Structure 1
Amino acid sequence: MYSILHRLARGMAWLGGAMLLILIVMTCVSILGRSLNGMLHGDAVTSIAPGLARWLLDLGIGPIQGDFELVEAGVAVAIFSFLPYCTLTGGHASVDIFTAKLPPRANRILQMCIDTLFAAVLVLIAVQLGAGTLSKMNSGQLSFLLQFPIWWGYAACLPGAWLAAVVGIYLAAMRMAETAAGRAILPPLRGSER
């Protein structure tokens, strides 16, 4: 089961990385277009080559319309895409100053409690995101510039949220099994010395 979840989570993380790459390229193109648009409207270009400036402006040189809306939705999708892999591999920030010297059994119990609580929070987030998606769908709310339905962004985040919830439940169950067995079952978390 771990290997299946690991492949799914890693694939979802790759999709999140692709989303961020697309957003970076789009932002750079938009900034370049905004700069060129300002330059083409400037006194220097309009006095030297007014025909060229008008022709380029008529081609649509300028910022990408609604780039802020696309970045807002895309970053949310990327975050939820990274969440399952981060959860499965223990990539979340942790402070283990106080737990580093605890015996292995105490650390297993503590990790079980943390993963169980985290699973509950991930399930709550996934359920609330689903409810929010339905609410936005029913309201018919549209984005300001692009006029796309707001619920599309929420819905695009759902696969990552649900996979993170499944991963969280799996980890909590495995931590309970580890605590009962008194030994490690899952691979070590990143940076841990179990």
Structure 2
Amino acid sequence: MYHALDKLAQALARALALAGGVVLLGITLLTCVSIIGRVFVPLDIGLGPIRGIYDMTEIGMAAAIFAFLPWAQFKEAHARVDLFQFAMPRKADQFLDLLFNAGMAFVAAVGTYRLYLGMQDKLSYGETTLIAQIPVWQGYAAGLIGAVGFVIVSVFCTFRALRRLAGYVDNPEGIQA
């Protein structure tokens, strides 16, 4: 069962990270098109910058960042200080990993809940971006997709850290050592 959960969490984290990468590529392309459009403004041939590019970039960056969080958590790539790890007993280090993962799952859950409440607030007031008039709740909703994935992956990583503390070793072949 663990290996199925591992594959599911990895697939979710990978899919969200790839989606975040696609969003970043899209933002880059839109920005390039907008910059090229600015060059044509003096020629007065009807081409110009993309209206609301700043709004689209802001929403896209937020969505991409939230989409990358599950992959960073799954790969244990968040910033950490390992000054005393070499001197620490292995079980103590594994216990600290468990605490870190549980704390991250808690922070992810609270952050996701607050993001959801913020989205509901923006939806109820009908707030839009200044230039492009994009409903602000849509940016929150885009970020919420990655945030929910972050919660799911963080809970799995807590379970994985608990297994390591209990003495289970994960091998690529799926053999318990």
2:71 to 85, 98, 102: 85
Name which of 1, 6, 9 aligns with 1:5: 9
Are the counterparts in 1 of residues 70 and 146 from structure 2 also a CA contact under 8 Å? yes
Offset of 1:184 from its aligned partner? 3.6
CA pair 110-94 structure 1, distance change in 2 beyond 3 A? same
1:35 maps to which of 36, 39, 42: 39
The runs of at least 4 aligned residues of structure 1 exceeding 6 Å deviation read: none
Aligned equivalents of 1:186, 1:77: Cα separation in 2 = 33
| Deviation sequence 1:132-161 (CA, Å, 0-9, x none) | 111110011111111121000000111110
Question: Which residue does the alignment assign to 2:151?
Answer: 165
- Assess if the C-alpha contact under 8 Å between 2:108 and 2:151 holds in 1: yes
Amino acid in structure 2 at the alignment position of 1:131? L
1:144-155 to structure 2, matched below 5 A, reads 144-155=130-141
Question: 1:174, 1:185 within 8 Å by CA — same for their partners in 2?
Answer: no
SS in 2 for 1:143: coil
The Cα offsets for residues 84-113 of structure 1, whole Å up to 9 and x where unpaired, read as: 111111121222121132121111011001
> For 2:82 and 2:164, how far apart are their aligned partners in 1?
20
| TM-score (norm: length of structure 2) | 0.89
1:69 aligns with 2:55: yes
TM-score relative to the length of structure 1: 0.82
Cα distance in 2 between the residues matched to 1:109 and 1:184 = 15
Q: 1:32 to 1:24 in 2, by over 3 A?
A: same
Indicate the RMSD between aligned Cα atoms, in angstroms: 1.5
